Amino acid sequence: MPLLPDDLELISARTLSHYDQRAEDFRDGTRHHDVTQNIAALLRHIQGQAPFTILDFGCGPGRDLKAFSRLGHVAVGLDGARRFVDMARADSGCTVWHQDFLKLALPMAHFDGIFANASLFHVPGQELPRVLRQLHAALKPEGVLFCSNPRGDNEEGWHNGRYASYHDLADWRCRMAAAGYVELEHYYRPANLPREQQPWLASVWRRAAA
């Protein structure tokens, strides 16, 4: 059954409320997560001369905004959780937009790269093609999108108070190609573990030339 507008409103409201109510705990629990592998994967595929303009899509409390800024790039955050937006602005000093993933208003052809680390899996599968096209339009020609999502068997629904979608590589590739992206690389995380102990699928994509 397709999700109706009221269903989508509920999905956003409940998921964002979950994060708002746990913002401090989330920041404390993820503060020391090492995502340098993911940051490097995005940056090595961006063409042109640094510094780059990077959108941290689902920036949370701002940990990765600070990392991009320390590397000399112009980092802009986006999150739907009000408390995360406030935290990220205060902690990083970067511009941070308060936007629901299902109600995006992004500038056209503005970003060299988009870093969607553990964020796109909150988008219902029905809405994902639209959101991916919006991110595609926000990238400069030949711009790069990094995404990391918990992998699964292409199911979605409520999980611990949040709406989540779980994709395998084949399904994710189909969705990305349909939205106009060309695959650059993919890998599983955490590194150096057996596949059954790697719940995260990371992938890097270039905006296809028109």
The 10s digit of each residue's pLDDT in 34-49 is 999 999 999 999 999 9
Q: What is the pLDDT of residue 1?
A: 79
CATH number for the domain including 93? 3.40.50.150
**Residue 70 to residue 88: CA distance in whole angstroms:** 15
Write the pLDDT tens digit of every residue in 43-95.
999 999 999 999 999 999 999 999 999 999 999 999 999 999 999 999 999 99
Structural domain that includes position 66: 5-207
What is the average pLDDT value for the chain, to the nearest integer?
96
Task: Supply the pTM of this predicted model.
Answer: 0.96
What confidence tens digit (pLDDT) does each residue in 103-154 have?
999 999 999 999 999 999 999 999 999 999 999 999 999 999 999 999 999 9
What is the pLDDT, as a whole number, of residue 32? 86
Work out how many domains the chain is built from and give that number: 1
Contact between 131 and 120 (Cβ < 8 Å)? yes
Q: Quick one: CA torsion of 89, 93, 97, 100, rounded to 10 degrees?
A: -40
